[in-house]
Structure 1
Amino acid sequence: MVDLDLGWIRNQFPALSQEINGQPVIFFDGPGGTQVPKSVIDAIAQYLVTSNANAHGAFATSQRTDALITSARTAMADLLGCSSDEVVFGANMTTLTYSLSRAIAHTGDSLRAIARELQSGDEIIVTKLDHYANVSPWFALSERGVVIREVEINPEDCTLDINHLKQQINERTRLVAVGYASNAVGTINDIATIVQLAHAVGAMVFVDAVHYVAHAPIDVRVLDCDFLACSAYKFFGPHVGILYAKREHLARLRPYKVQPAPDEIPSRWENGTQNYEGLAGLVAAINYLAELGHRVLPGVQNRREALLAAMIAIKQYERDLCQKLVTGLQQIPDITLYGITDTTRFDWRTPTVGIRLAGRTPHAVAKALGEQGIFTWNGNFYALGLTKELGVESSGGLLRIGLVHYNSVEEIHQLLKALIKIVPSHES
């Protein structure tokens, strides 16, 4: 396995020391929200003690808040590989996506620079693999005559049907909305290829990277996507939403804003007072990852390089963890495993696994595991198109096991032992 200093990593996360019923807590709930390092907690508290004020005032604490906003944009730019003026903050990814979808719908003539204005009969493509935060905002535009096309999945491995996607894209396509990775079963989509297909017909691409960011490096310049959204609480930070958008789109599109409001890019895209203490925690979360990168690859020259080193190491470590988890699950009778299981294709999945146990609802299994201090999620995780396509929505969806880099092989062994005791065949 990749040589990460797991002892140092786990020591950064105070929550990992908790116990339930005398058992150490095992957090396999990362896809729903990761735990945070102590440095994030300290940064939030420090902001509230020393800098708690609204922005743009003529006094010290407000000026510190202004400096924090700049620092947060720079940190996110380093993580995503963009410019700081292409970073927009908001309450969460869902809110930002709805806001952007409305801006696109109502901009009118300003969209002529892409192809022609968004009008009745124009088309937007979504997928059945996605979280509904990247589906519902676009479906809402159908009330304006926009045609929404859905891309099918391959149920046998829960991958996107790329041939069906190619069939859906045409000269009327204005935007393709796609997830970087499935939050339910971990499938990673070929975003670079999807962007090329969309741009070939003059369409924009909106990427939901909420689930992906914690697991691998991102370079939006290489991807050439038009928009990419994520949430800090999914990559070891607080509840802050982030939107990357190409500068030309931020300049051309018109956001819905309270008047008067600043006209500068990107702040004119941010509605109301931001979560400044959350931004302090966001910077600390990114700096934690950068510190990990310096430990993995001593001598890196800047934060962007350190972040790439950290995320590459995390991806490799988690790939090994995922292989151990999937191999172990396949040896337990009465378990159905969804998603990519071929280890030679594990570069196309995150360590997020969806399963079903025969004779047990996902909720019952999650409850039984939770009583042993093993935290997993159950349900559809807002990936409603996927659970319907798999035929499990009406019976409780999936049990989701989500690994991140602070998890260990020993924790996987504990999970497998617990599942063996839960499966019906064990009772007989």
Structure 2
Amino acid sequence: MDFPLDAVRARFPALSVPGRIYFDAPGGTQVCAPAIARMVAHLETGTANAGGCFATSRDTDALSDAAHAAMADLLGGEPGEIAFGANMTTLTLAVGRALARGWDEGDELVVTRLDHDANVAPWLQVAADRAMTVRWIDFDPVTGRLDLDALPGLLGARTRLVAVGGASNALGTVNDVAGIVRIVRARSAALVFVDAVQLAPHGPVDVRALGCDLLACSPYKLFGPHQGVLWGRAALMRMLEAYKVRPASIDPPAHRFETGTPSFEGQAGVLGSIDYLEWLGERLSPGANGRRERLGAAMRGIAAYEEGLSARMLDGLAGVPGLTLFGPAGVEGRVPTFAFTIAGHPPHVVAAHLAARGIFAWSGHFYAVEAIRRLGLKEAGGLVRVGLCHYNSADEVDRLVAALHALHSPGR
């Protein structure tokens, strides 16, 4: 079945604003109409805190339960394994602090030079607090791929955790998380924490298939509102003593990381984004049975559509004079995030040039500070980053490429 692009775009109100091309998805996608409607409905019909016997509180409890179940279906877990928070970074800092209660001086952590700092700095801070040793997985600056051949040598009896990204927010590289988990399991008893922020919007994520222990993602990069989500194996979460106020719930186990009053309107919006993905899955696979199957169909359809769009993007970028692409050279093993430099044009100048033409893209380090340093681009201002998602069109890709060519034209 052909991808229903027109119907998809109609579900995103921001796309109706004329003169805008949104290629800033790695920093946050546009929000789908069902997410907006769910948030408005929750606020308009009466909001309340959780745990009361009156109608609005009971409605809030039901809404929150539904949002946990929806995210569990998307990620392949169970509702009690899902925690909502302000964002992925806040949740990672919280779970890192809880894990560190059981770690000692001389224990070891493994992080990568490819990751967003939200999956690096929290572990560096834990290591500093506990006098632990940090070991690094490097990546190849040419291919943008992690050096997994070196991983076994980084693991040992005192390795407590390996933190890895599902996909690079800077270069688009998709990491072999399941393969990394197998290596870790063969060499140590370490936990595996996965930053799936950039992976989750672009294809299926199944925590059971990956085999990891903890995984975090960001619904605001999944067509919903500003929220963070943490999944953790129930048995592990049950063992962790989170930093929280004394009356806060510890059952289901993941909920101990939901400190204070959460954004219930945000959870409503997440539920709406899952509604949207279910709708898309039904369009792509009318016979899909149940929410998990519909969500799987949606994410597979998104991945297939974005692969074709990525091929068009790579072909177009290859013809831009002076352009150097970083990360995987082809569509295999990447999400549709493209990072590049153009000789003679600083990244911030390129981004401003595009913005003047209604094309929204980022420049800089994107919080992937280790990756930019490893590429030797820190002093040069980092990279230009163009990120697609499934609501983008081939025409928008062509307009981007034409705008980049215009950098070299007189009177640009």
Gaps of 5+ in 2: none
Whether the 8 Å CA contact 2:91–2:230 is kept in 1: the answer is yes
1:400 corresponds to 2:385? yes
Q: Which residue of 1 aligns with 2:335?
A: 350
Contact (CA 8 Å) 1:365, 1:399: kept in 2 or not?
yes
1:214-263 CA-to-partner distances (Å, cap 9, x unmatched) read: 00101101111000000100010001100000001110111001122223
1:236 aligns with 2:238: no
Which residue among 149, 160, 164 is the counterpart of 1:163?
Answer: 149
Amino acid corresponding to residue 228 of structure 2 in structure 1? G
Structure 1: how far apart are the matches of 2:363 and 2:150? Answer: 29
Residue in structure 1 matching 2:78, options 74, 78, 83: 83
* Distance across 2 between alignment mates of 1:4 and 1:417: 25
The 2-side partners of 1:426 and 1:355 are apart by: 22
Residue 199 (structure 1) shift: 1.9
Matches within 5 A, 1:14-413: 14-19=13-18, 24-106=19-101, 108=102, 118-143=103-128, 144-200=130-186, 201-265=188-252, 266-341=254-329, 343=330, 346-413=331-398
Q: Residue 91 of structure 2 contacts residue 257 of structure 2 at CA under 8 Å; is this kept in 1?
A: no
Secondary structure at the aligned position of 2:215 is classed as: strand
- Which shows bigger deviation, 263-272 or 232-241? 263-272
Match of 1:112 in 2: none
2:109–2:127 CA contact under 8 A, matched in 1: no
SS at structure 2 position matched to 1:159: coil
SS of 2:379's partner is: helix
State the distance in 2 between where 1:272 and 1:179 align. Answer: 28
CA distance in 2 between counterparts of 1:256 and 1:203 reads 22
C-alpha distance in 1 between matches for 2:179 and 2:69: 28
Name the SS for the 1:292 alignment partner: helix
Following the alignment from structure 1 to structure 2, what is the Cα–Cα distance between the partners of residues 210 and 390?
Answer: 22
Following TM superposition, by how much is the alpha carbon of 1:312 offset from its aligned partner in structure 2, in angstroms?
0.5
1:264 Cα deviation from its structure 2 partner: 1.3
Cα displacement (A) at 1:278: 0.4
Amino acid at match of 1:401: V
Residue 84 of structure 2 contacts residue 262 of structure 2 at CA under 8 Å; is this kept in 1?
yes
Contact 1:175-1:198 at 8 Å conserved across structures: no
Note the C-alpha offset of 1:147. 0.8
Match of 2:6 in 1: 7
How far did 1:427 drift?
7.2
Calculate the TM-score normalised by the size of structure 1: 0.94
Question: What is the rounded CA distance, in whole Å, between the counterparts of 1:56 and 1:260 in structure 2?
Answer: 12
User: Which sections of structure 1, spanning at least 5 residues, go unmatched?
Assistant: 109-117
* Amino acid of the structure 1 residue aligned with 2:189: G
Q: How many residues align?
A: 409
Q: CA–CA distance in 1 between the matches of 2:108 and 2:298?
A: 39
Question: Residue 115 of structure 1 aligns with which residue?
Answer: none
Distance 1:318 1:426 in 2: 34
Between the aligned partners of 1:268 and 1:244, the Cα distance in structure 2 is: 12
Matched residues in 2 for 1:40 and 1:252: separation? Answer: 34
Identity among equivalent pairs (%): 47
Deviations 1:172-195 (A, max 9, x none): 211000000000110000000111
Q: Tell me, what secondary structure is at the counterpart of 1:326?
A: helix
What value does the CA root-mean-square deviation take over the aligned residues? Answer: 1.2
Whether the aligned pair in 1 keeps the contact of 2:152 and 2:184 (CA below 8 Å) is: no
Aligned partner of 1:111 in structure 2 is: none
Query: Letter of the aligned partner of 1:7 in structure 2?
Result: D
- TM-score (structure 2 length as normaliser): 0.97
SS for the counterpart of 1:82 is coil
2 CA distance for matches of 1:154 and 1:51?
A: 53
Q: Hey, what's the Cα distance between the residues in 1 that align with 2:255 and 2:81? A: 10
Work out whether residues 51 and 65 of structure 1, in 8 Å CA contact, stay in contact via their aligned partners in 2. no
CA distance in 2: counterparts of 1:319 and 1:419, whole angstroms = 21
In structure 2, how many angstroms separate the alpha carbons of the residues matched to 1:234 and 1:407? 14
One-letter identity of the residue aligned with 1:40: A
Which amino acid letter does the alignment assign opposite residue 390 of structure 2? H
Q: Secondary structure at the match of 1:363?
A: helix
Q: Which amino acid aligns with 1:314?
A: I
Task: Tell me, yes or no, if the aligned pair for 1:420 and 1:426 is still in contact at 8 Å.
Answer: no
Q: Deviations over 1:292-342 (max 9, x none)?
A: 00000101111100010010011011011111101111111111111111x
Say if 1:159 and 1:187, in contact at 8 Å, map to a contact too. Answer: yes
